[in-house]
Structure 1
Amino acid sequence: MLLQEYLNKQRETFDFKWLTVVNAEGLTVCDSGIDEQFELAALLPDWMDTSHQLAKAAKLENGMGLICLVPKSGGYLLLMRDFEVHGERIFLLIATPKIPAKAASVVKAICNAVEKSLH
């Protein structure tokens, strides 16, 4: 299955508003449900580094950095996670009206599928 098809399927399955995969330069690798570039990409490395430090400080076993931004009123949540493919840092962003059950597992599975697709 192509990465685009996979992201489309995950968006439908979990009722995500959109998903996007961004590289370290802030360029979109693949997305589903979104057709615009946004300023958030430039902030991702610093935010993710902080989330890894927080995970480490909290003694989380795997140290997975997963950020969830929650709006003050309405809208959608934004889930973010980073991972590496061939030594390049990749970011996954998911906009969703609600956090799926077992959110960390869902996000990890999507990251694993993206990694396999980019190999």
Structure 2
Amino acid sequence: VLAFEPEKLHLVTDKTHPLYDERIHLPISEAMVLNIMDQGVLEPIIVWKDPETGLSCVVDGRQRVRHTLEANKRLSKAGKEPLLVPGVPKRGSAIRMAQAMVSANEIRQADTPLG
């Protein structure tokens, strides 16, 4: 697991890119920002270096990165150290990474009151 500066991670917003996910446009959750400010990012993201652009693209963990960016704005304003995002680099083609993205999201289950 590596530690990434969230500002150096690429969040795909191009609808034609294999790693595009419409949830990139979800609103920022105040509760998640506050939680990350307090706890940091607990679950590592998955990162893939695009060989064509050299960008470190987020395959899984877009919301964690987006909310860490917001948390870091607030921490910086308060004179505190910015947070890093833990991440696991993966290798493969863009299509293989898109498959990993779908797989990571499909196996997640929403929390219920009973766990």
Q: TM-score scaled to structure 2, two decimals?
A: 0.32
Q: Which has the higher contact order (CA 8 A, sep 6+)?
A: 2
Q: TM-score scaled to structure 1, two decimals?
A: 0.31
Larger-Rg structure: 2
